[in-house]
Chain A
Amino acid sequence: MDDADFPDPTDWIQTPVPGLQTLETSLRCQVCKELFTAPKVTSCGHTFCSLCIRRCLSASSKCPTCMKPDEEPRLRDNIVLSELVNSFNAIRKSLLDTLVAKEEARKQAEEEEAKRKAESKPKAEKRSSYDLDDDEIMEDAEPIRRGKRRRQDTTTSRPTKETEPVRRSTRTSSRRTNSRMGSSQTPVVLDSEDDDDEFQLTDDSSEDDFRSATRGKRKHPPRVPDPRTENSDLVDCPVCYQLKDPSKIEAHVNRCIEGNGSPPPTPRRANGASPAGTPLKRQPVSFSNVSKSQHRAPYTAEEKLKLRLPKGNASLAKEADIRKKLRDIGIRCDVKGKDNKQVLWTRLQEWTNIWNANLDSDNPKIKQVLIKELEAYERHQLAQKPSVVQDKDFGREAWNNAHKPGFELLIANAKKTSIQRKENGIATEAKDQPPDPATGENMDSNGIDSPKSVEA
């Protein structure tokens, strides 16, 4: 496995800045150990990839880090982290190359210096002041060896120098950012109520500065308080998964079951496609609204593509319903093995996870790709299953041969008993299940192989 196609935090150990390892570790999901994709924060404040946490929560409804109970509808986007990951990912390669090259140059310079010392001892004594200053030597050595890298160096180091003065919140800097903003981006009208809350304690100049800075940096529209986070007393409707006031939930569920409950709110950042710069309207939470406008136009095909799927309930779902849902999506329903419902249910759950996580990502894939992913995932899960004993060195043939006498004895015994029974006149009762004692005995004794395979 090449380093290049498997980036890892330990890459930074060999660079002059090993501390970057910790930085990158914290930009990675603790479940899959990859850089976060569509990071989601749980209600206890831990962050995971959207798909990872959805899978974890469907396996056990607990946060993997602190084991506090949590559920999918409570997950929130971690927008600033996804920006951080994206920008880090964009510079990662060039940063690593630059740092590694620098380290190499430093080592070579050291070696050369050592050689020079060994060659001309008297001279080295004179140059002793140089020895202390590694950096200067490195600067000397660098341009000769790699002109190309030098260019990279300057490009990566320049921005840090430039951003330094901007960080100080002086009036000039705020004006500068303001004017820059004015030319490049349309001003964002923030909800006045929210503004007051956020900036109450800051004085005018810093407020300007801060606001312009945040506006400039944000790719996403400013967050509108979400009714879900504001009010944790709300309960989920088991049918449409909307959060509702506990006192109204009963009436709401009844309406939902009749099929005319209010539609679930459209996802806030579906496909990340909400037009930048225009703040989203707050979803009205008044419940009187719901009863007045019970009838809503059905979803258009396009709207349907942006809806998160509800999880449902395994014990309530019927196999036929699950089959119908899968068929509607376009997923095959064929099942090998016994527990059909369980397999189909797992498939539907995995699809829900993949689908919902895809909606969270910045560049969603199309449905066909997702279906392929689901199939690949299942194929992988199944591919490893078939062998009963997983040990690599386990030779089925050899094991069968070694225990053949035992099996044959057992089969003979079983046959004998069944014949004896027939002779004793219990044949009429035993006729229905003559091979039963045989299988029973065999399974007990070896526990792994079915007697049929031995016979064959």
Chain B
Amino acid sequence: MSARISAKTLRHLIVIGLIALWELLPRAGLIPELFLPSLSSTLMAGWTDAGEYGHALAVTLYEVVVSMAFACGGGILLGAIVGSLPRPRVLIMPMVSSLYAVPLVILYPVFTVWLGIGSESKIAFASIYGFLPTMLATSAGIQTIDPQLLLAARSMGATLSQRLVRVIIPAAIPTVLSGLRVGGALVIVGVVVSEMLISSAGIGYLISRYRTILDSPHVFAGVLLVLFLAIGFNAVIRWIERKAAIWQTGTRAGQANDDIASSAMQPAT
């Protein structure tokens, strides 16, 4: 064994350690099963009611995917408009920025009044929730494009549509992707939280229902499922980023990226 452990191995060791502790601490009686059921009993609970969890997962996934389409599609579209045209920017941006600071979850009860307690109200809430950061990032991504690049393209005879396809879109992609990462994560949060509040289906609903009857293993099985959902989403985004981003380093957009990601990581829930 070499003297130094790489960061990656260390990270894996930490995860394995935490998993082991999760199993051992409750078993040894150091933590009451009500607070933290052991990993094996959590998995067991999930396994015995696999059908129920599977159905809940399907509902949640459906809501996440539809909300994601609304949030990302709408966010990119409106962000592109707001980012490239100064007039709508002046009108809309101050509103959007202050809206971003409002804990949007206060709107959720209103949505249930309008749309019922089915999937529609969750989709509406999560879409709006994830829409804002996507839009802000897209708008910022387009505004931070170096005007010299557009001037250079024009000097080479690029038409408006060529400038859009060959300059504006590729230059904005890194920032837009970081917006999608934040926006997508918020969509998952939005769906699960709204399911926990007022609902009749989905993982959030299961967690909330089992909590009221103090069935901790079933609660944690739901939590695990949400965790996997988030990890899966992250993996997808990573894959897209790798596919799309040769230019992560050394671009202005790449730097703007980090600012947005870090400032947007604290959503007001």
Q: Do A and B come from one complex?
A: no
